[in-house]
Amino acid sequence: MKNLVLREVLKDQQVVEHPLDQIFQITAKQGAIYSVIDTNTEINPDDLLLVRIGDQLEVRVADKAVANIDDFYGTGNDTLYSVNGALQPPADLSVSGNQTPNSLESIVWWQYVPINSETDLTQNSSENITNVVAVTTEAAQDDEITVSEHANLTVAATAGQFQSDASISIYDRFGTLIGMGTIDPATSQSELSITKDYQGPILVVLEDNNGEAGDYIDETTDDLTSLDTSLRAMALADGDDLFVSVTPLTELAAREANLIGHNVTSSNLEMNDKIGKLFGVEDILAPVTTVLDQHFAADDGVSVSEHYGLVLASLSGADHTTGHISTTLNHLESAITSNGDVLALTQGAVILLKEGIGAFEAGTNAHLADINMSLIQPPIVDVPADGVDAQARNSGVSVVVSGVDVGDSVTVNWGDKSVTKVLCTTDVQPDGMAHIEINSAIISTAGIGYLSVNYQINDGTPSPSVILEVDTIYDAVSLDEDAYNSVSTCPLNPTEFANDTKTSTPDTTAISQTDMNLAQEIVSDLWEQETMGEFYEHLIPDTLVSDTQMLNLNTGTSAEFSDESRDIATNTFDLLHLTAAPESLAMPI
């Protein structure tokens, strides 16, 4: 067990040792030399970190503060920290109070343990870590440690334009602190450095350090707003200079990666791309041009960084709806779900994004940027947050898609069913959006439960999905067990016909064998699910009239179905045996 002391060698060579049972506070004395020593071994601890905070030098061991030396960087103090405890340490093993660091809060010395690959050590391999560090410590005793080269790390804070000196912390894959800094309010950035010896995943943490005071200018309200939380970003250090944006989207990626503490792995980094695709951002770590930036000029075309700024502005509008950025993040975190290898949003989340865009458009800065619903990547389904009920099903549902042109073939996938439509001039709005109607037959045959809805333009990549709850079973007609009869009004509308793959206008003077086979397949499936009442309720409103009867447009026309025509052996219905009102024979499709 370590027995740490802060050793203070005064100018007259008097030695004073201060036990470090808890955090020790001391004011630096003129010309004194300080060091933390383990008295059991008479060497410095192997996991030492020295951090400048203003004029104070903070000594950390195993990422925990053990001593604070106030006024260490005071004018004319001529103080020294000896890393190895020597009275005359070499330059690379000492920190002088006369040095001028790059920022007012930064790491000034760090004893790094080189790791060549993630397979060298596991996160729980404390024995191996000790062995590697022991080599470093022995080298320190022989004064053979060399200072590593460093790569520049630029961290940009963007939740709006940052105006405070929020703190930045950098962690390696094992959760070890390897860098610190603060945001420069003039640039909304922090310039740091990390050793080139470390190559692997890093976690960047942006923290509000001024309480409820304002931190950034909100795009929607133009108010100075308190962050009052932390934002994280996962990135990969490869030895070269690195730029990392920390935004609400990078925080969502960190949340969805389910990080444990400050540890981050290479596989965690894959979530960055998934979140980017879900929100339509090419690289969530790349620079952002916010709508408040003087260089934002979408009238000459929207650049990649400006598009990122538009997305963040829409999230700012969502903050206006929910009340705070942390509330918005909590809502989105719970609304993001895995849909195979990609991510999807719930209907409630899509509605929140719509409300966010509306809030920005109604806000103080609406004139700065044209933000519209095309920013939302999943399809916008015109139903409430709780999904599709019987009324919505019977009326049909409109699905809004974006990024389309006249002549595009758009396929909307509704669960395991789909509708394809070639867009005409009247279909496409000036903002490149179009409405695709999903009729009740498609909704009914796709079934109930939580369904994935997305769209594909021509042969392009399918859009992210919205997850809808379809719950119509409780609205179905209840039938007697021995009769399975239902009488329903049939508003005949032979202008649209739906099957598994397309919407078209058929010749209603004849019923094809394909249509009859489809109807029997539907009946068979629903009979097995004991939801024949659902079948009658859903499909009777979408019917065609057999050529054996005259078309009757009387709104009182009705059809009666009975289980007498059910073939028990094949579990199908003979459509010609279905009993109907005298003037029409309705055939569900």
In order of 221, 255, 264, the CA distances from 259 in angstroms are: 32, 7, 6
How much is the average pLDDT of 284-288?
97
Could you tell me the two tokens for 333?
Answer: 């975190």
Task: Give me the phi and psi of 419, to 5 degrees please.
Answer: -130, 130
Task: Give the pLDDT confidence score for residue 289 in this predicted structure.
Answer: 95
Average pLDDT over residues 429-452: 90
Residue 542 has pLDDT above 50, yes or no: no
pLDDT at 494 over 80: no
Q: Which residues contact 502 (CB under 8 A, 6 or more apart)?
A: 419, 420
Cα separation of 282 and 306, whole Å?
Answer: 11
Same domain, yes or no: 357 and 397 = no
Q: Per-residue b/e over 41-72, b at no fewer than 16 CB within 10 Å?
A: eeebbbbbbbbbbebbbbbbbeeebbbbbebb
pLDDT, average across residues 56-84: 86
Q: Are 306 and 410 in the same domain? A: no
**Could you tell me what percent of the chain has a pLDDT over 90?**
45
Domain that holds residue 43: 1-146
pLDDT of residue 41: 81
In the listed set 354, 371, 388, which residue is the last one of a domain according to the structure? 371
251 or 476, higher pLDDT = 251
304 and 186 fall within a common domain: yes
The reported pLDDT for the residue numbered 503 is 35
> Which of 171-175, 265-269, 542-546 shows the lowest mean pLDDT across its residues?
542-546
Residue 275's CATH number: 2.60.40.10
Which CATH number goes with the domain that contains 424?
2.60.40
What CA–CA distance (Å, rounded) separates 191 from 203?
Answer: 16
Question: Tens digit of pLDDT for each residue in 330-373?
Answer: 999 999 998 778 999 999 999 999 999 999 999 999 999 989 99
Q: How confident is the model at residue 325 (pLDDT cuts 50, 70, 90)?
A: very high
- At residue 513, the pLDDT reads 58
Q: Does residue 23 sit in the same domain as residue 126?
A: yes
Residues 554 and 406 reside in one and the same domain: no
* Region 501-528 average pLDDT: 48
Q: If pLDDT is split at 50, 70 and 90, which confidence band does 514 have?
A: low
- Separation of alpha carbons 145 and 94, rounded Å: 12
Same domain (yes/no): 63, 205: no
Picking from 105, 95, 73, the residue whose alpha carbon sits closest to that of residue 169 is: 105
Is the Cα dihedral 256, 257, 261, 264 positive or negative?
A: negative
Give me the pLDDT at residue 52, please. Answer: 84
pLDDT over threshold 70, residue 578? no
Q: What integer pLDDT is reported at residue 64 of this predicted model?
A: 83
pLDDT tops 70 at residue 142: no
Tally of domains within the chain = 4
State whether 17 and 97 are in the same domain. Answer: yes
Q: pLDDT-derived band of residue 136, with 50, 70 and 90 as boundaries?
A: very low
Instruction: For the full predicted model, state whether its pTM sits above 0.85.
Output: no
Question: pLDDT value at position 517?
Answer: 56
| Nearest alpha-carbon partner for 458 in 414, 409, 401 | 409
The residue from 320, 353, 371 where one domain ends is 371
Task: Please name which of 36, 2, 31, 1 lies closest in space to residue 18, comparing C-alpha atoms.
Answer: 36
Whole-number Å distance between alpha carbons of 86 and 98: 19
Six-digit token pair at 180?
A: 């610190």
Are 408 and 311 in the same domain? no
Residue whose structure tokens are 């920013």 = 375
Per-residue pLDDT at 180: 87
DSSP 318: H
Q: Is the pLDDT of residue 285 over 90?
A: yes
Mean pLDDT for 47-63 is: 84
Who wins on pLDDT, 528 or 15? Answer: 15
pLDDT confidence of 519, banded at 50, 70, 90? low
Name the average pLDDT for the chain. Answer: 76
Name the domain boundary from 146, 179, 207. Answer: 146
Statement: residue 589 has pLDDT above 70? no
Cα(380)–Cα(583) distance, rounded to whole angstroms? 41
- Tell me, yes or no, whether 429 and 392 share the same domain: yes
Distance (Å, whole) CA 52 – CA 68: 10
Calculate the alpha carbon distances from 433 to 162, 315, 405 in Å: 34, 21, 8
- In terms of domains, do 529 and 461 share one? no
Examine the domain organization and report whether 438 and 504 are in the same domain: no
**Which range scores top for mean pLDDT: 307-311, 470-474, 555-559?**
307-311
Q: Which of 123-137, 219-233, 505-519 has the lowest mean pLDDT?
A: 123-137
d(CA 498, CA 539): 11
Confidence of residue 515 (pLDDT cuts 50, 70, 90): low
Same domain, 424 and 511: no
CA 531/CA 478 separation, integer angstroms: 9
Give per-residue pLDDT as tens, 19-31.
998 889 999 999 8
530 has pLDDT over 60: no
419 close to 503: Cβ distance less than 8 angstroms? yes
Residue 114 has pLDDT above 80, yes or no: no
